[in-house]
Amino acid sequence: MLLEVKNVRAGYRKLEILHELSLHVGSGEIVSLIGANGAGKTTTLRSLAGLIHPSSGEILFEGVPLQSARPDQIVRAGLVHVAQDRALFGGLQVIENLVMGAYTQPKSSVRASLERVFDLFPILQSRRTQRAETMSGGQQQMLAIGRALMAQPKCLTLDEPSIGLAPNLVAQVFAAIQKIRDDGATVLIVEQNASQALAISDRAYVLESGSVVLEGTGQELADSAEVRKAYLGM
């Protein structure tokens, strides 16, 4: 198992949001977390990224406990987060944002990583000197994912990669996620866009009020009457 979350309790000050949350992600899988607004999906990814620390429970990455680690240590371990707000350096160029993403990597590897990112998102190559804040929403999402890839992740966590994007861009981003997995990385996605997320997921979890209430293959959850009614609007 690449990533194991065991009985994690976490939240904000005294407000506990995740109640004994457990899930796992195998190497090479695409796994989705779906659930209503406020279910705790973002809080789960923030805990994995070391942005908040669980009050109890364990987060194991390749068997190593990370629940008390700093964000930079987690990136170095190979678990790299793309936040919902993308957190780009808006005043810096595309290329500068990408190179910044490789801060944990040896300088000698940067060129090959850039080529890989440009191969995945050719628009970033043609716009490489453009300031990030002047890119469209879809381009910024590609840049945020590209910057994360520069850290050579074993596992990428993506918080609502499709948010605010036009349908053709959503399709492009989801296609890129599949390609990232096919190139050898593991992906954990949080999505409101449940139908598209389930369509590319090997497995998925449904979160409600900070706990997992359903799990299954992407197909099983897409076919589940409960999921169709609550999350797919059917």
* Interacting residue ranges for ligand ATP, rule: CB under 6 A: 12, 15, 17, 35, 37-43, 192
Shortest approach of ligand ATP to residue 169 CB, angstroms?
19
Shortest approach of ligand ATP to residue 43 CB, angstroms?
3
Toward ligand ATP, which CB reaches closer, 28 or 38? Answer: 38
Please give the DSSP secondary-structure letter assigned to residue 134: G
170's CB contacts (< 8 A; 6+ apart) are: 162, 193, 196
Toward ligand ATP, which CB reaches closer, 85 or 183? Answer: 85
Toward ligand ATP, which CB reaches closer, 12 or 103? Answer: 12
Shortest approach of ligand ATP to residue 17 CB, angstroms?
4
Q: Nearest 5°: phi and psi at 18? A: -100, 125
38's CB contacts (< 8 A; 6+ apart) are: none
Toward ligand ATP, which CB reaches closer, 83 or 99? Answer: 83
Sheet holding 56-61, edge to edge: 15-25, 3-12, 56-61, 64-65
Toward ligand ATP, which CB reaches closer, 93 or 195? Answer: 195
| SS3 (DSSP) at 196 | helix
168's CB contacts (< 8 A; 6+ apart) are: none
Let me know if 13 is exposed, middle or buried by CB neighbors in 10 A (0-12, 13-18, 19+): exposed
> Rounded CA gap, 128 and 97, in Å?
9
Toward ligand ATP, which CB reaches closer, 71 or 125? Answer: 71
Shortest approach of ligand ATP to residue 159 CB, angstroms?
7
| SS3 (DSSP) at 230 | helix
Shortest approach of ligand ATP to residue 221 CB, angstroms?
16
Shortest approach of ligand ATP to residue 210 CB, angstroms?
7
